[in-house]
Amino acid sequence: MGDRRRFPALLPLLASGGVLAFVGRAVLALPPTASGLAVEMRDGAKASGIKNVVTAVLLDFRGYDTLLEIAVLMLATVAVLSLREDPAALSRRIAGRAGPVLGALTRTLAPLMILVAGHLVWVGSSEPGGAFQGGAVLGAAGILMVLSGYAQPAWAGRRMVRWVLTVGLLAFIGVALYPMLGGGSLLQYPDESRKNLILFIEILLTLSIGASILSLFLASASATAGGERP
């Protein structure tokens, strides 16, 4: 066994050495200044009315990438759900009720995080921020609550969890298809409602992304991770 493993270790060495050499050479061959598509993008962003050019690229110019990226995230969630060993993983309490300090901290932090998530989405159009950042914070808030022993709220039945996970993608597809009714192409937002549509998508996406992150966490948690079972 040992020999079998030592011999192929040559291949990884060659591969990473090759990467260093060839990619290094390629990088050094580049001219020190280049602007790529920066100018076009900035001009385009001015025309579209979204102040943060990265957000404009993400949700407008290359909104199609982002649509598929949301699909990747939801797909990964579905994938991890399909791999879970315990069908009830999503609705299980995985830790005992936290002690007084952690409990108090969670009660303070969680609402604050939700607020921050909302803020991140709201400023996304002009400053760094947006649905992914907001969703990540929201998901973190969820994980924090779960870890401190807060079970899911009563309304979150299995079906409802699925709806929350999906609503962002569904809304995105809906908004993407909507311009087609007026003869536009996929994701061709009408100029007058562009900002509102993007904000609408972002809010729902934040929810779904947060739920995705929480589900990814819960689905992988083992049934034996400690704490009492309800």
Which x/- pattern over 87-116 shows residues binding other proteins (rule: CB under 8 A)?
A: x-----------------------------
Cα within 13 Å of Cα(229), Cβ side = 6
Q: Which stretch binds other proteins (CB under 8 A): 76-84, 96-104, 113-121, 140-148?
A: 76-84
Least Cβ distance, residue 149 to other proteins (angstroms) = 23
Q: Which of 84, 93, 119, 195 binds other proteins (CB under 8 A)?
A: 84
Tell me the site size for other proteins, rule CB under 8 A.
Answer: 91
**Residue 51 binds other proteins (CB under 8 A):** no
Least Cβ distance, residue 213 to other proteins (angstroms) = 8
- Taking residue 26's Cβ as centre, other Cβ atoms within 10 Å add up to 9
- Which among 204, 205, 198 is positioned nearest to 179, based on CA atoms? 198
Write the CA distances from 15 to 3, 11, 21, 26, 156, integer angstroms: 20, 6, 10, 16, 48
**Residue 225 binds other proteins (CB under 8 A):** no
Q: Which of 73, 94, 205, 218 binds other proteins (CB under 8 A)?
A: 73
Residues 6+ apart with CB under 8 A from 50: 56, 59, 60, 125, 126, 194, 195, 198
**Residue 37 binds other proteins (CB under 8 A):** yes
150 vs 172 by CB, closer to other proteins: 172
Least Cβ distance, residue 200 to other proteins (angstroms) = 16
Residues 6+ apart with CB under 8 A from 165: 74, 77, 208, 211, 212, 215
Q: How far apart, in whole angstroms, are the C-alpha atoms of residue 121 and residue 202?
A: 7
**Residue 78 binds other proteins (CB under 8 A):** yes
CB 213 within 8 A of CB 143: yes
Which x/- pattern over 178-217 shows residues binding other proteins (rule: CB under 8 A)?
A: -xxx-xxxxxxx--------------------------x-
108 vs 222 by CB, closer to other proteins: 222
The residue to which tokens 């200044």 are assigned: 33
SS3 state at 201: helix
**Which residues within the stretch 116-145 sit at the binding site for other proteins (CB under 8 A)?**
132
